[in-house]
Amino acid sequence: MRILLLLKNGHLTTLVGGGEKIFSEFADEFARRGFKVGAIHDDPVGEPFVFPIKSSVSLFNLRAIKFFSPSLVAAKIWREITRPLSKTFLAPIFLDFRPMVKSKILKRKIDRALLAFRPDVVVSFFPTDVQALFLNRCETNFATIQMVHFAPNLFFQIFEELCPLLNRCDVVQTLLPSFIEPMRSVCSTEIVAIPNIVPQFAESVDVDERERAGSPRIIYVARLDEQIKRQHVAIEAFAKIADACPDWTLHFYGDSYPKPAYGRRLEKTISELNLENRVFLHPTTQNVKEELLKSDIVAFPSPSEGFSLALTEAQSLGLPAVGFAYAPSVNELIVDGENGFLATDVDDFAQKLKTLIESKELRRRFGANAKKSVEKYEASRVWDAWETLLRETVEKKRAQIAARALK
């Protein structure tokens, strides 16, 4: 079986993100299992991946596939000539044709990769990927599986106009069984739940050792994002208990790309609250495990997640977490009163942090439960589920193609 992965967002050489990590691990694992694996991406030529692909995977970098397009040259000239008019009431007449031409060039590049690799199945990582894949394509002679990395509510909000494309896929993969029914409201194709992989770390946070170290801290690993990650909410909650917990500090790890203004606002908030020596903004780190092992509690103020690798990796290291009860996925990965706490609002979030801060034994018990709770996401189980899905999807597609040929 020939498996082709598609991720055209151009971040494999720049972002330390969950999607990028899964892309590389997926390619490596199925190459290791003996499948022919290809990967379409769109990144600066010659730049190394943040998460290297170690196996013999056929890479197709869209930026390295060159096309000279007279149409694009004409569209650029037209844009420059009509730019002043595009800001007037005549704008509907003098349209910018560059996006349409670029999409056609993108299709030609993807077509070249498809022709070179001849996949049995294409696994599309984001809806914009499958949009490019299906452009001007009535049918495919390969199966298509669309990944959905978001909780349904956030997916509908971001990709509402792309939802009809899901019905053209053979399978849609979502991350948790509870997401299947909400996805059915926009998708009539087959929907399968396969979670992300959680590393099963041998190490665990040693609560007694952490106490002897004398530097108790709360941690949150995520890009700086005002809407989806909400570091400001964690700061607001910590500020409410900072005086009562003078030895504790709050540490964020993550860059503010692509919106650096939010990072500057966080710095201003920290200064206004006089927490410069208590709250710290660190850049993205490649040593996430080491930083987690130096921590005591995870603050997780995200309002919605698909299946957070940052949260589950912390749980695998035996860290208790505080999240929000209304946050999809978070409210399943954190079991309230068992491996962490789920809060109702910022005041409750602050109080739940304080409860964990004040009880070493609670941190110890919750941490042990957290580590056990993610054992079911062990790698071989998840990859086996993917292999079964890939094989079954390809078999069904071949049967459909054979049936069409007989008509």
Tell which CATH architecture fits domain 2-197+379-406: 3-Layer(aba) Sandwich (3.40)
User: What are the structure tokens assigned to 316, written together?
Assistant: 């695998």
Q: In what order do the strands lie in the sheet with 340-343?
A: 279-282, 249-253, 217-221, 297-299, 321-324, 340-343
**Helix 379-406, helix 18-32: angle, nearest 10:** 70
Q: How far apart are CA 24 and CA 296, in angstroms?
A: 30
Are 2-197+379-406 and 207-376 equal in CATH topology? Answer: yes
Q: What is the pLDDT of residue 89?
A: 64
Q: What is the pLDDT of residue 95?
A: 61
Q: What is the pLDDT of residue 27?
A: 95
Q: Is the dihedral of CA 216, 221, 267, 154 positive or negative?
A: negative
Q: What is the pLDDT of residue 253?
A: 95
Q: What is the pLDDT of residue 107?
A: 81
Q: What is the pLDDT of residue 165?
A: 86
Specify the CATH number for 207-376; select among 3.40.30.10, 3.40.50.2000, 3.20.20.100, 3.50.50.60. 3.40.50.2000
Query: How far out from the chain centre does Cα 72 lie?
Result: 32
Q: What is the pLDDT of residue 91?
A: 62
Q: How far apart are CA 332 and CA 348, in angstroms?
A: 18
Domain spans of the chain? 2-197+379-406, 207-376
Q: Mean pLDDT for each 10-residue chunk of the chain (407 residues)? A: 89 77 92 95 86 88 75 62 66 59 73 93 90 81 93 87 88 95 91 96 95 94 93 98 97 82 94 96 91 97 93 97 97 97 98 97 97 96 97 95 81
